[in-house]
Structure 1
Amino acid sequence: MGYKTLCFGFFCILFAYCIYSPIPEDVEEPWKVRIISAMIKMTTFVGTICENIGLLKYEELLATLSTVHYTKAVSDENITVIDTKFSDIPVRLYLPKKKSERQRPAVIFIHGGAFVLGSYKIAAYDDLNRWTANKIGAVVVGIDTRICIMGDSSGGTLAATVTQLLQNDLNFKDKIKAQALMYPGLQSLDTLLPSHQKYQHGPILTREMIIKLVCLYVTEDKVLLQAALRNEHMPTESRHLFKFANWSDFLPEKYKKNHVYIEPVLGKLNASYPALVDSRLSPLLVNDTQLQSLPLTYVVTCEHDLLRDDSLIYISRLRKVGVKVTHEHIEKGVHGALSFTRAPVFLNLGLKIRDKYINWLEENL
């Protein structure tokens, strides 16, 4: 009994510490955001302890806990929902039952989770995809004619990557009508953009957490993690790539504040990680000619988001080369809102973003 009481007391103290960590004053629904942030910080803390004592890996704990929110493929009177595979890749299809007088549009949804977590089975994503299929009569995940590739967070990264690859492939050029990116991370070169510094402790997403998870996508070598936290992870031969992600050139003045651009230290690592200079991980690394071929683009950014500046740089570059961009900036928003549309972690902000996105699809797809 004494051991259980001690553990309970410890977690109460930890929760109290996490819940009273400062958050921006103008965040929408601040107490909900505070509670969600506290839960995430506690989970990452416990995950780190579990990994250090050899119980299970950090990411395994996070992945296990996320399965609590999984849903099954359940059809209803409007939509047939099927779990299947495309070339051994698990997918969930949402097929509207109502007959359509036109060829149906399609939306390919890529979930977030810092490349190593998450699933299309998560209830909030299932709700989003059902709503998309219902509202605009689209086949979600399946491919037809008018296609939008959409993703949130790291899913937005992958959506941007896939769209670039398809638009620059002669076999698929102009097959994609639109891309929709929800608060994506778009570069791994510089881990100290102004938003990375301002929101390094959250809310929701912390700098240490995102760097740790993205590094796991590249390698399990902890050397890379420590170097990335110091912003000393890029090789010397990557110097020419920084012109594509230099925030002093592309970030609007209002977001620069008093920050002074300092080029990251290059060549500190002896190990080589080719993924760090690969545009498939960092879609900002492609040149203007490749960006110029991109389709109609929809981007959602949230003010209180560590990844905010990645998108702002991307939007500046796209508009500079003539790509038509619709940008929704949520002044009181936080990262991951689309994931929090189900109790007990419910944010009205997630529903607002969902509705803005669906309205844009109705008008443009």
Structure 2
Amino acid sequence: MRLKGLLLIFIWGAFSAYYIYTPVPEDIEERWKLMLTDCFFRTLSHLADFSELLGLRDYMGVMMFITVAEAVVPVSDQQVRVTEEHFDGVEVVVYQPALQGGDSADADADADADADAELRRGLVYFHGGGWCLGSSRMSPYDLLARQMVTELNAVVVSVEYRLAPAHHFPVQFEDVYHVVKHFLQEEVLAQYRVDPGRIAVSGDSAGGNLAAAVAQQWQQDPEQKIDLKAQVLLYPAVQALDLNTPSYLQNQHMPILPRTLMVRFWSEYFTSDKSFFQAMLANKHNGPESASLLKFVDWGAFLPEHFRGGYNYTAPPVVSATPPSTQGDSPLRNMGDPRASPLLVPDTALRNLPRAYILTCEYDVLRDDGVMYAMRLKRAGVDVTHEHYPGGFHGALMFTTWPAEFEIAHRMTDNLIGWLKHNL
């Protein structure tokens, strides 16, 4: 028994050393806590790979454990009233200030009691998770929504859009767009006491992608009568054409979102065809459909020198043939759609966009996506606040709850809410 115990200790020690060791830069914030946290993510990723290999469950099905583990039941408290509703058939969680002196289950009674109150800000929030994972009901999103309600006197609509691989693009975009279109009706805004002139779309990672795409499509929608005032894009993914930007190469093995996982997210967003995933991994997934759009992701032109890290720009190759199983609803065509890759539009489509808050992190494969989008928006004359965190990593803003609570997450939240107080 003693020998077995020693053997188990040795195996566990070797296992822990393997998973804890990773080439994490010394200047990344709370380095050892991040390395320990990443052990969980990498272990789950390997289990997901193994499960898919054995045909037990697909990769994303196993990775959904992250969503389940962080899930909470959104409930009202003394400061925030929470309701689960459907906007145009899409599930949403609505957070709004609670009534003074008690909560009420009657929306009309709420409106009457609030009739003389100041009109509120409105935010529609899209969660991250690579279009495949995540939920508005995860504890970090629940906490963020409550902070926005109490500190901004805001109504926050957190969207539970459908996920890949069960649903591919453009389902996710259509879900969030339908929610925005429903919310920005005069009678709906009046119901929630929201000021029509103080509404923003916001999201992190894949949610930042959706927020940027919604902002673009909204200004082109002939049916819209109310303008968005702001777009909040937190380490957004905004292009799928070049997956070898300096940040993809520099941070390909970084914690939380290594390059392989981000490529898998992009691939699953468009198709379940594994051959397309392999093509994207090799950065050889551009065909004639996207060739003319590569100029919009030329990081040699749109990325400031200090972000290039000594890398020299080389345009991704354009392949002439596509995998046979992708010929129908071609992911090559879809990834060039601005609703999927909002960076791929001319300056004329950017000029009238609402003011933007863009957050990027140095140690994030998506860093250059956010930097390039901020640069292009500025050149088009859009009011942009670009906040870059030199010691930050992907997903940092969501690490606000035990046992993975990081100081940088609270700092990011405070800075974001501070910006919204002055700009929304």
With the shorter chain as reference, the TM-score category is over 0.9
1:360 is matched by which residue type in structure 2?
W
Partner of 1:118: 134
SS in 2 for 1:61: helix
Superposition CA RMSD, Å: 2.0
> Which one of the candidate residues 303, 311, 315 is aligned to 1:259?
311
Q: Does 1:315 align with 2:374?
A: yes
List alignment gaps of at least 5 residues for structure 2: 100-113, 158-182, 190-195
* One-letter amino acid matched to 2:213: T
Could you give the per-residue CA deviations for residues 27-58 of structure 1, whole angstroms, max 9, x where no partner exists? 11111111122221111111101110111111
What residue number does 2:415 align with?
Answer: 356
Of 348, 371, 379, 1:289 maps to 348
Alignment correspondent of 2:396: 337
Q: Secondary structure of the equivalent of 2:409? A: helix
> Would you say the 8 A contact 1:227–1:269 is kept in 2?
no
Partner Cα distance (1:3, 1:182) in 2 = 48
- Note if contact 2:289-2:336 (Cα within 8 Å) is conserved in structure 1: no
For 2:32 and 2:344, locate their aligned partners in 1 and report how far apart those are by CA, in whole Å.
38
User: 1 CA distance for matches of 2:92 and 2:16?
Assistant: 36
Quote the offset at 1:296 in angstroms: 0.7
1:302 aligned to 346, 358, 361, which one? 361
Which residue of structure 2 lines up, in the alignment, with residue 45 of structure 1?
Answer: 46
Instruction: Kindly report structure 1 stretches of 4+ aligned residues shifted beyond 3 Å.
Output: 1-15, 98-101
Change (3 A) 1:237 1:129: same
Give the unaligned 5+ runs of structure 1.
none
Query: Which residue number corresponds to residue 31 of structure 2?
Result: 30
Code of the aligned partner of 2:63? L
Letter in 2 for 1:281: A
Corresponding residue to 1:225 among 251, 269, 277 = 277
- C-alpha distance in structure 1 between counterparts of 2:44 and 2:13, whole Å: 13
TM-score by length of 1: 0.95
Q: Percent identity?
A: 38
Q: Which position in structure 1 is the counterpart of 2:98?
A: 97
Q: CA deviation at 1:364?
A: 0.9
Shift of 1:86: 1.3
SS in structure 2 of the partner of residue 283 of structure 1: coil
CA contact (8 A) 2:48 2:59 kept: yes
Distance 1:183 1:8, change over 3 A: farther
| Partner residue, 1:71 | 72
Provide the C-alpha distance between the structure 2 equivalents of 1:177 and 1:65, rounded to a whole number of angstroms: 33
Choose 1 or 2 for highest CA Rg: 2
Q: Give the paired residue count.
A: 365
Using the size of structure 2 for normalisation, the TM-score is 0.82
User: 1:151 aligns to what?
Assistant: 203
2:88 is aligned with 1:87 = yes
Letter in 1 for 2:358: V
Q: C-alpha distance in 1, partners of 2:271/2:370?
A: 25
- CA distance in 2 between counterparts of 1:325 and 1:262 reads 28
